[in-house]
Structure 1
């Protein structure tokens, strides 16, 4: 209720009560007029209350006339009550006005304190100060601040109907001088006169404007903060007059406003610094996050948001740390699952000095596989913070792992000659390094045969084998491995869902079996051997939810090329080895024949791991005049010597069986070798045993003499002659020896005596010592073999052949 309305209401109430007092003849209510001043005191000023109280007293005095009781005790009592009530109402009005003023002052101080305690920008502070002071404490409020060496007017607020024009004019007028706005002491001008306006006007127009404000008084107080002046607050009163109490209040309010403006300036500078810092961090390629002591993110740059699949760093901050970790299948240190306490930031907040941590993470929803290195540093201050720098090293790690994988695969491919076993090892190497499943298929007629299959779970390997038996894959299938085998184009398929499998595999039972595997991604790559495609390698991602990318496909294709080359080389090697072995077995003599009255045994050790036949040879066969036993040695060793061995052995065998004469057989071989384009000499020791095995003829053509062991004592027999193939007119001299029961004849090649050991050559003397005390052919062969094995050091240097015959004792 307005004050004027309260005054009128009080007067009207007094009239009404006086009227009722006059109308009611038997009732006197003249004293009730005191209610009027009480009503006015609640809403009106002290003066207005005093006026209404005086009116009530006059009414009480006049009431003695219409109540006809002047001079009575009742009259004086009513008059006294009315006077006392009026005085009390005036006192109450005064107290209430003071209380209202105190409430206004308290509200102003509280409002100023709230402005100072709230982080706001300078424009926000100016707006809030104007709203607080106008019109509650001033009709016009002006704020000037000091910026360096000049003063700037930053705020004007005015009340009244012409407020906008006044604000624009005062804002344009600006501060007069630095001295004017930089006052040190508060200034109160209780009365503004013409002289003051003239002194402050800059022109006649300005003077007219100042007069139009109708200013009654004003207050000018400094805005101070942290011991320095930051500006001036000017308060102009039009509808009121300021006094010392108002000056004191304005000074208190100015202190709060100065602090608020200073804080706003610092806040703005901090915002600018934060903006520059944020801008700098957002330009970094590495992800940067900051977490508080509780582990919650308080900052994340743009790269961090993008790294974890969010539109911005702000979106990442909203997430709970555990939810971020749970979104990935993460592991550290040889596959150990990642825990929140393992993160370097958490370690730093615990006061530890964390080492950089490499994390392998697979996004559970997308299957995207990443490798990240996290580094953390602790920032000490009022709040403990951990700064994390996260670097994505996926490409580097993939390249490193790919090269390591290919190196291991190459070693496996080079280590075996059985290509099926090698491919099985390759499939096992790919699981789980590259995929959850790996299989290799090669064509076999009209079907694709599974050569190898790998999974970490043996039960699932059995499932896969059973599946392929139930649903064999024809080579003319329109899709899948058969298609890759035909056109040689790799396939990267995914993500795979149940609908895709059902569409690709019409058979419901087969499609449900495939769905049970849980396939997410599939890679099919050809095994290439030159221009041919010899098979297909399949890689499947299932349990790990890993997503295959182009880099994985390139790695798989390189493995396919290397595997194809290795398989083809192994197949060629096996074919050539089979051919070579077949040919070499054809060069070896048949099993030793049974000679009546005698026993035979032999030892053959070709030099070289891959050779079955070398330059040394032996044979035993019947002739028209008994049995021929021979041991020979052609020039060289290996495949070339083996070819000459076959010619020499078969020539001697044929001539001996036809002619039955050792010398005639030698002549035949000598002519055959001499007629060759290149010199290919050959040495042979030949023993012709009589049909009754009682005698033998020994002929040596450049070969070590055979040994006769009688009564356990070995000695050489036979005469030396020229090598075969060296001279066309060569002749040989045979030696006839008588044989006794228990005798042992041993013919050997120079590979025996030329065997190299720690002490040089094995030699003839060691051979004699090895055969001393021997009484049968088998024992002689075993003794030579044991002695050579014990003596030899390193690889065998020359082919070795031994042929022994004994005449059992009666």
Structure 2
């Protein structure tokens, strides 16, 4: 036996660690040193914090026992201070779920073979016992010493209901027991046949937030969820999932969250070599995220620090990102500054004042003290275990030895599981980005892009998301918000700044249960806004941060494309609008109507054009069709329309207009750019109606509807414009009597196709027009437009233009 005593000061744990290490070295029990020192540190820290008296430490070796046993006792002099009941360290959930007053004893229950408390009138003794060899599985408490304290079952037993839900491979509920009815209110006949996903609010778990369908495909899983109660609202529950053999059914055991311990029994103290207890604990088959969380909790509990982190190397090995955290962790994203935590540091380290050593890292961790140990595999640093505290000088060098012991035990299993997780994550990342790319591709509306982006990350990655957009003037505004529970959308929008007045890193986000993080939407050096997310988890794993960065680059690229598209569309629209008359000239005594529909999607002007204007004492009209479509055809359209109007204003005759325009097209040198044109003049007659002078260059002839329903073609076809330099054109005249109607169309009407059949086959257009007697010009135009649209199921592949002129009364003289 060996004993010593210390004052109840913050330095006592360090002195105790040195004493135990020295004693075990003298007793040739160095293989027990790491676990023993870890336990001693916690028992002494507990005594200093909760008793505040002097402390006596005793190490006792019982070599007569079988197997031999090492016992460590810590006595304080505050006997009335009792030890609280200790809950087992939870497999899931934050470390804060273990009360501060019991964290050291929770660690004792994990590492020691037995522990207990003895009370006297003047002292209280807490002891732990460890087997020196591995030849006996029995643990016996010493006479007069209390055995391990049982972990209480949380929540009253009267409210405990263990629901059993069985689903088929498609997620349809097949069985629903009475306990599930008591827990969730749904009767079996109501629940059976429903989709499980309709009854579960699923936020996902792990770095890539598996969907519910993916989780149902797992062989085994445990975790939190929220399920819909029959009376409305979501009930927090804890689920233990099992996939049956043959993958035919999924079985869910469900309890209220307050009874989660029923489905998460405390792990039995691991057996085997004492120095490998932590490694044995972590060798249990568990998800990678749970493995890292367990390591972080053990480190935080055993060190007495405010927070603990597991950092893992990013691609390249010289950057380290947060993979898990426990305690009062900061809201960390991505890569930490690597001044202290570098890939070259292969020994444990302790920094008394982080502000003096690495200001950037101190700000990121919101800490002053730091102790760390590298995770070494094959001589390479794959990560670090880090523990921090808010005040300087909180740790000592002895703690780094314990940290390195934990790091050595967990490095290999962490590395092995991370390689497997990276492979799964890589496939999940590619799948996620491919889905996002496909969803965002071809979307040219910024508001829709913002909505899709928010819904991509909620609830897979975040509890809520908001997208801010920055316009060309540099003004940033809140464009869209989305919460996992849609009923919170309105409140979320009210709580977020509508127009941020500062940089996103300096914005004061609403205080709530979630950690708020922002990611810029950057491309080609320009900011298009930011994606802001709220997560229940305090840290963001490096892989997830990289995934969000890739998503933000993809979104920013699509926003940039949308901006260019909008700018080009606006420019094109303005230019194209200049190719059409702003308004049709009023024609007293004549009624006119126009239909104009370009075939190209998003275009305002194609290869067809029209015009109707006054010249001196008469009116002029024109209807043309340029060979082809798109911008090239629109350029010829502009030339033709403006040339016709200019020449008519200079009092050129219709025949002269054709000659001059034919020459202009040939001088342009655009081979194959032909133009069909119908142009005419309307001169009012004293008795009413008008005298029409008209010419047609390769254009469908206009149709004249008489008052008795007869339809006549009124112009002979002539050579297309832009074909032959020596072509000569002539005009024809006819009288447009009152109540008669003239229909002028392009070939987009006459050649409207349905398979091998055209609309104008067998004089189809004339037959259609003959039934329009007595209709107004607008009614005729609408009837023809509808006939063109409904002639075939497929949309028209050609521009459509038509002009209707009807003499309605005696024409008054047009004044210049």
TM-score, structure 1 length as denominator? 0.48
Whose helix proportion is higher, 1 or 2?
1
Larger radius of gyration: 1
